[in-house]
C-alpha cells in the first residue's frame, strides 16, 4: 500500500509545476472568494447611487450633501429622472434617488430600483427614512425601537466560512483529477501488475487513497494558512479537530473520486463526469455561495453532499468553537462516505477485471 | 524439466470469457517449471484471455486454473504486459523497487533483487532516468525487470520484444532463459517468430479459443510440414491473367490481396524453376525457404476453420 502511495508521491514531487498549481491555486481562490463575498455579507455593500434633485431647495441640497458624505464617489448626480432610471436599468447605479415636490410643494424622496437590486434599494431606503421624514416636517422615526444585539464570535465570519468551503471544493477537484491516474495504470496494465505483485486489489486502491488523502490534507492546510489572519483565535483542540476534519474531507474526496473513476472506462468518460460531479457537489454543498444564503429547500438538499457536512463541521469547530454531536455526525458522514467510496471502487475494479 | 517439480501453470478444461460467449473452450495448457512456453495464434485467438486467466485476473467459468502449488503468495506471478506498465515519472530502478516492495521482499533484500532484475534485462545503464524519457526498447527492458524482481514462480510476458532492436532481443531472450533455469515457468505471448524460435522450449498454437497443437517448435514444424519447403512468389502488383494461370497450374495459391503466391511441397525448387519466367516477367521475386512458426500458425488455423 505504501509502495503505491510512495510511487504517486514521487511522481507528484517531480511534476513541480503541477505541484505548485495544486498547492497555490486553492489559497489564491480562497483569498478571492473571501474578498468578493466577504464584504457583502459583512454589510459593506458598496452600492452606487444615482441622484436627481428636482426640488432644488436648501433642504434637499442638504440631503444631497449628506448622501455625498456617506457615499463619496459612488454618488452620481444626474440631470433628469430618465437619466437616473437608465443608470439603474443599465447597472451603472445600484439604486437611484429622486427628490421632487409633491402637489403641496413639499419635497418627496423616491428610491428607484430594478430587478435584482432589492438589497441595495432596501439599504438605501433605510438610510433615507429619517431624511424623508425631516423633509416632510415629521419627526424621524426612532431607530432604537427594535434594538440589535450581536451574538457569537466577532470577526470575519465569511473569511472563516470560505476557508472551509473553498478547501473542500479544491480537495474534491484535486482528488478527481488525481484518481484519473488510475485509469492510465489500468489501461497500461500497471494496475494488473501491481495487483498481482501485492496479491489483491484492495491494497493498491488503498495506496492511491492514502496518497490522494495526503494531497487533500496539504491543500486544506494551504487554504487555512492563507485564511489564518481572518480566523478567530483558535484553541489547540479546535486546530486539532479542524485538522482531523480536513483529513476526513480528503479521505471522503479520495473515496468518491476512486469510485467515480472505477466506474469509467477511460479518461474521456471520467473527465466530464468528475468535473460535473465536483461542480454539482460544490454548488449544492455551499462551496460557491454560502449555505445560509440558500433557500431552505436547497439548504436541506445540500446535506446529501459531503461539502455541506464539511462546511458545517468547520463552522462549528472554527467559528463557533462548538464540539457537539453535529461535529461527530460530520466526521462520521465524511469518513463513512470515503470508506464506502473506496470499497465501491475496489468492488468495481475487481468486477471490471473479471469482465 | 523435472517431473517431480509442480508445474508453474495448469489450465485444465478451462472455459473463460467476457460477458457473452466463452473465448476459451475446453482449454488445457500446462507450463512446466523450467520451461518457456510460447502461445501463438492469430489475432483474436484468445492468447490474451489465456494470459489473464493464468494471472487470475478473470475467473474461469468451468475447469481449473492453478499457478504453482500451495497457497497463493504475493509476487507468485510476474506480469510483463504488452504496454509498458510502469510509473512514467519514476526511473526504472524506482519502478522495480516499488514492485519489489509490493511483492513483499524483505527490505534488506530489495536493493540486491532490484539490481539483479535490472542486470538480467540489461537495463542498468539507463536505470536512473525517468521512464518517460526512455526509448521504447529501454522501456521494454524495464517492463520485464519489474516482472522479474519478485522471482516469480510464473512469468507471463506479453509481446516483450515489440519495438526493440536485435541486440535488446538477444538480451531479453537470455533474461527469460535465465529466469526459467532458476526454476520458474514462463508463458510467452509473441508474434516475433525469431524470438520465439530461439527462446521457447514448447509452443502452443491457439485459434478460436482452442489449442490446436503443442510441442517443441522443431517437432511441430516437422510434424506439420515434414520435408516440405515453401515456395513464395512476391509480386509488386496482382498477377496478369496469363501469369496467374501459370502459377495456378503449378499449384500455387494466391493471398487475399493477390500480391503473394505460395506453394508448400517437397519439390519447391522444381516448382520455383517452373514459375520463375512468369514471376520475372511480372517483376516479382521468387524464394524457397523452410516453413516457419508463422506458417505453422497459418497452416493450423486454416486447417481448423
Report d(CA A235, CA A318) in Å as an integer. 9
In chain A the domains, ranked by start, together with CATH numbers, are: 2-39+154-354 (no CATH), 46-135 (3.40.190)
3-state secondary structure of B66: strand
Domain match, B208 and B232 both:
no
**Would you state the pLDDT for residue A320?**
86
Nearest Cα to Cα of residue B303 among B249, B227, B223, B244: B223
- Using a CB–CB cutoff of 8 Å, tell me whether B102 touches chain A: yes
Cell matching residue B26: 475446453
* Nearest-CA distance A194 → chain B (Å): 7
Residue B33 lies in a domain: yes
**Would you state the pLDDT for residue A170?**
93
Residue B89 lies in a domain: yes
> Which chain B residue is nearest to residue A15, measuring alpha carbons?
B89
Report d(CA B87, CA B92) in Å as an integer. 9
Q: Taking chain A (355 residues) in consecutive chunks of 10 residues, what is each chunk's mean pLDDT? A: 85 85 88 74 68 86 84 88 89 87 79 81 82 75 66 78 92 93 89 83 92 95 92 90 96 96 91 93 89 85 94 92 91 96 93 69
- Residue B261 clears pLDDT 80, i.e. is over it: yes
Domain match, B250 and B126 both:
no
Put simply, the answer to whether A354 touches B57 (Cβ < 8 Å) is yes
**Would you state the pLDDT for residue A44?**
53
Q: State pLDDT tens for residues B148-189.
A: 998 888 999 998 988 888 888 999 999 999 999 988 999 999
Q: The domain spanning residue B143 has which CATH number?
A: 3.40.50.300
Report d(CA A330, CA A327) in Å as an integer. 5
Domain match, B260 and B287 both:
yes
As a residue count, chain A comes to: 355
Q: Are A165 and A38 in contact (CB under 8 A)?
A: no
Q: State pLDDT tens for residues A300-312.
A: 999 999 999 999 9
**Would you state the pLDDT for residue A208?**
93
Among the residues of A80-200, which ranges form H helices?
81-90, 118-135, 157-179, 181-188, 190-198
Put simply, the answer to whether B55 touches A14 (Cβ < 8 Å) is no
Domain stops at, among B162, B189, B215: B215
Domain match, B137 and B170 both:
yes
Among the residues of A56-156, which ranges form H helices?
58-71, 81-90, 118-135
Contacts of B103 in chain A (CB under 8 A): 197-198
What is the signed CA dihedral for A201, A206, A208, A209, rounded to 10 degrees? 140
Domain match, B135 and B228 both:
no
Q: Residue A3 phi/psi, 5° resolution?
A: -65, -40
ipTM: 0.77
Q: How many domains does chain B have?
A: 2
3-state secondary structure of B288: strand
Domain match, B269 and B230 both:
yes
- Using a CB–CB cutoff of 8 Å, tell me whether B72 touches chain A: yes
What is the per-residue burial (b if ≥16 Cβ within 10 Å, else e) of B166-191?
A: eebbebbbebbeebbeeebbbbbbbb
Domain match, B238 and B256 both:
yes
Domain stops at, among B215, B247, B275: B215
The model's pTM is 0.76
pLDDT band at B7 (very low <50, low <70, confident <90, very high): confident
- Residue B95 clears pLDDT 90, i.e. is over it: yes
Contacts of A192 in chain B (CB under 8 A): 55, 57, 79, 81, 85
Report d(CA B128, CA B131) in Å as an integer. 9
Domain match, B143 and B279 both:
no
Residue B1 lies in a domain: no
> Which chain A residue is nearest to residue B75, measuring alpha carbons?
A197
Residue B4 lies in a domain: no
Cell matching residue A328: 461527530
Nearest Cα to Cα of residue B37 among B210, B194, B180: B180
Crossing angle of helices A236-263/A267-285, nearest 10°? 140
> Which chain A residue is nearest to residue B81, measuring alpha carbons?
A189
**Would you state the pLDDT for residue A61?**
86
More confident residue, B81 or A40: B81
Contacts of B90 in chain A (CB under 8 A): 7, 10-11
Q: Which residues contact A80 (CB under 8 A, 6 or more apart)?
A: A52
**Would you state the pLDDT for residue B71?**
47
* Largest Cα–Cα separation, chain B: 74
Cell matching residue A271: 473527465
Domain match, B183 and B271 both:
no
Contacts of A197 in chain B (CB under 8 A): 74-75, 78, 99, 102-103, 150
Residue B189 lies in a domain: yes
- Using a CB–CB cutoff of 8 Å, tell me whether A16 touches chain B: no
Domain match, B135 and B275 both:
no
Q: Which residue has the cell 454560502?
A: A290
Cell matching residue A55: 426640488
> Which chain B residue is nearest to residue A204, measuring alpha carbons?
B102
Closest Cβ–Cβ partner in B57, B102, B130 for A197: B102
In the DSSP assignment, the letter for residue B162 is T
- Using a CB–CB cutoff of 8 Å, tell me whether A197 touches chain B: yes
Put simply, the answer to whether B58 touches A7 (Cβ < 8 Å) is no
Nearest Cα to Cα of residue A124 among A70, A168, A176: A70
Q: The domain spanning residue B259 has which CATH number?
A: 3.30.70
Residue-range definition of the domain harbouring residue B116: 9-215
Q: Which residue has the cell 440558500?
A: A294
Domain match, B210 and B247 both:
no
Domain match, B200 and B147 both:
yes
pLDDT band at B234 (very low <50, low <70, confident <90, very high): very high
3-state secondary structure of A116: coil
Q: Which residues contact A87 (CB under 8 A, 6 or more apart)?
A: A50, A76, A78, A93, A96
Amino acid at each position: 500500500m505504501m509502495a503505491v502511495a510512495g510511487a504517486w508521491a514521487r511522481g507528484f514531487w517531480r511534476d513541480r509545476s503541477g505541484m505548485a498549481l495544486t498547492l497555490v491555486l486553492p489559497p489564491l481562490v480562497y483569498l478571492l472568494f473571501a474578498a468578493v463575498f466577504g464584504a457583502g455579507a459583512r454589510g459593506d455593500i458598496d452600492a452606487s447611487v444615482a441622484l436627481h434633485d428636482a426640488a432644488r431647495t436648501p433642504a434637499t441640497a442638504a440631503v444631497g450633501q449628506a448622501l455625498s458624505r456617506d457615499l463619496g464617489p459612488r454618488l452620481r448626480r444626474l440631470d433628469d429622472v430618465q437619466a437616473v432610471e437608465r443608470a439603474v436599468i443599465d447597472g451603472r447605479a445600484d439604486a437611484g434617488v429622486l427628490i421632487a415636490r409633491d402637489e403641496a410643494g413639499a419635497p418627496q424622496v423616491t428610491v428607484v430600483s430594478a430587478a435584482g437590486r432589492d438589497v441595495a434599494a432596501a439599504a438605501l431606503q433605510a438610510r433615507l427614512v429619517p431624511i424623508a421624514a425631516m423633509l416632510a416636517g415629521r419627526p424621524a422615526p426612532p431607530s432604537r425601537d427594535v434594538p440589535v444585539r450581536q451574538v457569537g464570535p466577532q470577526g470575519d465570519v465569511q473569511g472563516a466560512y470560505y476557508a472551509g468551503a473553498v478547501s473542500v471544493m479544491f480537495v474534491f477537484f484535486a482528488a478527481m483529477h488525481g484518481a484519473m491516474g488510475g485509469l492510465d495504470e489500468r489501461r497500461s496494465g500497471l494496475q494488473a501488475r501491481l495487483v498481482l505483485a501485492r496479491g489483491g486489489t484492495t491494497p493498491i486502491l488503498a495506496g492511491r487513497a492514502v496518497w490522494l488523502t495526503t494531497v487533500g490534507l496539504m491543500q486544506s492546510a494551504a487554504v487555512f494558512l492563507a485564511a489564518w489572519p481572518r480566523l478567530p483565535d483558535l484553541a489547540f483542540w479546535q486546530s486539532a479537530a479542524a485538522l482531523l476534519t480536513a483529513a476526513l474531507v480528503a479521505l471522503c474526496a479520495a473515496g468518491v473520486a476512486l469510485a467515480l473513476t472505477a466506474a469509467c472506462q477511460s479518461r474521456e468518460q471520467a473527465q466530464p463526469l468528475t468535473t460535473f460531479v465536483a461542480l454539482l457537489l460544490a454548488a449544492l454543498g455551499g462551496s460557491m455561495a454560502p449555505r445560509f444564503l440558500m433557500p431552505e429547500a436547497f439548504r436541506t438538499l445540500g446535506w446529501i453532499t459531503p461539502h455541506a457536512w464539511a462546511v458545517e463541521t468547520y463552522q462549528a469547530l472554527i467559528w463557533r468553537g462548538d464540539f457537539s454531536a453535529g461535529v461527530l455526525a460530520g466526521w462520521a458522514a465524511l469518513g463513512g462516505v470515503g470508506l464506502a467510496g473506496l470499497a465501491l471502487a475496489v468492488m468495481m475494479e475487481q468486477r471490471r477485471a473479471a469482465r | 524439466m523435472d517431473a517431480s517439480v509442480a508445474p508453474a501453470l495448469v489450465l485444465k478444461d478451462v472455459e473463460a470469457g467476457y460477458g457473452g460467449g466463452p473465448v476459451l473452450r475446453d482449454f488445457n495448457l500446462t507450463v512446466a517449471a523450467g520451461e518457456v512456453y510460447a502461445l501463438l495464434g492469430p489475432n483474436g485467438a484468445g492468447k490474451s484471455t489465456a494470459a489473464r486467466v493464468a494471472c487470475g485476473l478473470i475467473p474461469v467459468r468451468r475447469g481449473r486454473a492453478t499457478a504453482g502449488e500451495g497457497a497463493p503468495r504475493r509476487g507468485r506471478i510476474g506480469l510483463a504486459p504488452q504496454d509498458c506498465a510502469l510509473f512514467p515519472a519514476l526511473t526504472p530502478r524506482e519502478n522495480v523497487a516499488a514492485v519489489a516492495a509490493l511483492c513483499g521482499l524483505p527490505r534488506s533484500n530489495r536493493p540486491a533483487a532490484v539490481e539483479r532484475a535490472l542486470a538480467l534485462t540489461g537495463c542498468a545503464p539507463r536505470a536512473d532516468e525517468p521512464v518517460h524519457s526512455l526509448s521504447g526498447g529501454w522501456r521494454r527492458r524495464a517492463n520485464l525487470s519489474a516482472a522479474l524482481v519478485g522471482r516469480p514462480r510464473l512469468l507471463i510476458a506479453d509481446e516483450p520484444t515489440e519495438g526493440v532492436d536485435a541486440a535488446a532481443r538477444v538480451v531479453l531472450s537470455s533474461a527469460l532463459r535465465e529466469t526459467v533455469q532458476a526454476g520458474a515457468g514462463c508463458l510467452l505471448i509473441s508474434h516475433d517468430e525469431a524470438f520465439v524460435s530461439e527462446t521457447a522450449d514448447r509452443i502452443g498454437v491457439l485459434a478460436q479459443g482452442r489449442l490446436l497443437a503443442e510441442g517443441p517448435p522443431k517437432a511441430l514444424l516437422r510434424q506439420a510440414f515434414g520435408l516440405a519447403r515453401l515456395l513464395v512468389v512476391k509480386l509488386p502488383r496482382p498477377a496478369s491473367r496469363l501469369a496467374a494461370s501459370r502459377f495456378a497450374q503449378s499449384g500455387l495459391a494466391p493471398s487475399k490481396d493477390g500480391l503473394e503466391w505460395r506453394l508448400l511441397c517437397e519439390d519447391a525448387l522444381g516448382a520455383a524453376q517452373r514459375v520463375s519466367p512468369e514471376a520475372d516477367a511480372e517483376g516479382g521475386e521468387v524464394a524457397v525457404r523452410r516453413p516457419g512458426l508463422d506458417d505453422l500458425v497459418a497452416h493450423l488455423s486454416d486447417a481448423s476453420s
